[in-house]
Amino acid sequence: MKDRYKNPEIITMLNDIKEEETAFHRLLRDTSLYENDSLLYHYNGFKSYNSLIAGNVHQFMKRDLNILHQNTPSVIDGLDDRLYLETLLTAHYKVEPTERLREIPYGYNEAFQTENYTVLEQITPLPPAFTFKEAISKEAFDSLSYGKRDQVLLSAAVMEEPNLPSYDLETLYTDTRSIEPEDAIEMRNVGLNDDGYWTTIKPENGAFVFGNPFYGMGAGEVLVTVSFKEKNFWIYTLSLNQKHIRNNGEKNIYNYPRDEFVFKIDTNHEKINLSFTPGQYDIQKIEAEYQPYEVFDRILQQQLTQASTNIEFDNNRLSMTVDPDGDEVLFVAVPYHKGWSVEVDGEKRDVQEIQSAFIGVPVYKWDEKVILTYRTPGLIPGMMLGMLSLLIIAWIMYRRKKYSS
């Protein structure tokens, strides 16, 4: 299998990116075929088997934000081109096969090309650490639409028990339109049966074609949420504008238990093409939510003023300089784990979990140097216990040898 990860073009390309930006960053290569691509090519990515991912990150990706991944607990797979999340999580680079790249996405420029790939870099990347002046509760966050959740994650600390001024949710902006199956400008191989289920007529895929209610509007993201359930709990595949999700049936232990899916499209998509494999379906909701990129630009410029500087990172240590105006919370785009400890100007502080899965550190006016250190929980007691066990075994062997002689 390792031969798959010896592509000289990819190795050279990744080395060139590392030379271009030595600071901590992540890279999106969602078109790679293998889940552990980032581990074997040695870059910070967004694709992996879940056995290698912390449970809080799993929940952040699949539940809190409902990112379009394979519908199994075992795999996480990219960010579905959602710019707010890419910026929050330091996706400073994207790698796309050149033959499949139709246009450069908003917020990115072309960095360079290789024979088969185009490397894109964020025009204005956020560093992996910056502060929040305001906060909202996790309960309030969970009540928001997916588009507004994306915005909040860049705007305010999300905490179980907020201890900062409350963030004004009225400043968030999205436009949401409900879409009914009857609104379709075209239906193919589908009809409504007497039980109220949309049913494929022939043993072929059924489809609805809707007009995109935000087509031609200013640049922005459109998140299409589809609540969708197969009557007989069969395996099915749901597709929207050439993005696909396969539900393996409720009886499959490897199937992720959800019936609501979010697909990101753009305002230049004239139509929403929703198709599905043969079956009987309860379509509970189709909803399109638009968030203009001018809102993203405003939030980004604000957070850049609160960015940390002099960030240094190695295997288990992260340090930076902060300059808070008052009581704030430092966000660090590294998953929270109880193995992290922190010192601020030599003083120990508690590490908090914010934004559902990431490191938060309380900082105050005049704070400057923040150092985070990771130590595997139980490592030192485990090593001491191991050494004691070896000593006991050695003593037992010595005694046996002594008495046998």
- pLDDT tens by residue, the chain, 405 residues: 556 668 899 999 999 998 888 788 999 986 556 678 888 888 999 988 877 778 899 899 999 999 998 888 888 889 999 999 999 999 999 999 999 898 999 999 999 999 999 999 999 999 999 999 999 999 999 999 999 999 999 999 999 999 999 999 999 999 999 999 999 999 999 999 988 899 999 999 999 999 999 999 999 999 999 998 888 888 999 999 999 999 888 788 888 888 899 999 999 999 999 999 999 999 999 999 999 999 999 999 999 999 999 999 988 899 999 999 999 999 999 999 999 999 999 999 999 999 999 999 999 999 999 999 999 865 555 556 666 667 666 666 756 766 665
**What is the C-alpha to C-alpha distance for residues 390 and 402, in angstroms, rounded to an integer?**
18
Q: In the structure encoding, which two tokens stand for residue 28, read together?
A: 């999106």
pTM given for the model:
0.90
CA 338 to chain centre: 21
* Amino acid, single-letter form, for residue 332: V
Residue at token pair 């003593």: 395
* pLDDT at residue number 7: 86
Give 194's Cβ-side CA count (13 Å radius).
Answer: 0
**DSSP for 32-83?**
-SSTTHHHHHT---SEEEGGGS-HHHHHIIIIIS-----SSTTEEE--TT-H
* Amino acid, single-letter form, for residue 377: P
Query: Strand runs (DSSP E) across 267-379, as ranges?
Result: 271-276, 280-292, 309-313, 317-321, 328-335, 340-344, 347-349, 352-354, 358-363, 369-374
At residue 275, φ and ψ (nearest 5 deg) are -130, 160
Element (H, E) at 5: none
* pLDDT at residue number 379: 52
**What is the C-alpha to C-alpha distance for residues 192 and 373, in angstroms, rounded to an integer?**
59
* pLDDT at residue number 36: 82
At residue 58, φ and ψ (nearest 5 deg) are -55, -45
At residue 30, φ and ψ (nearest 5 deg) are -65, -20
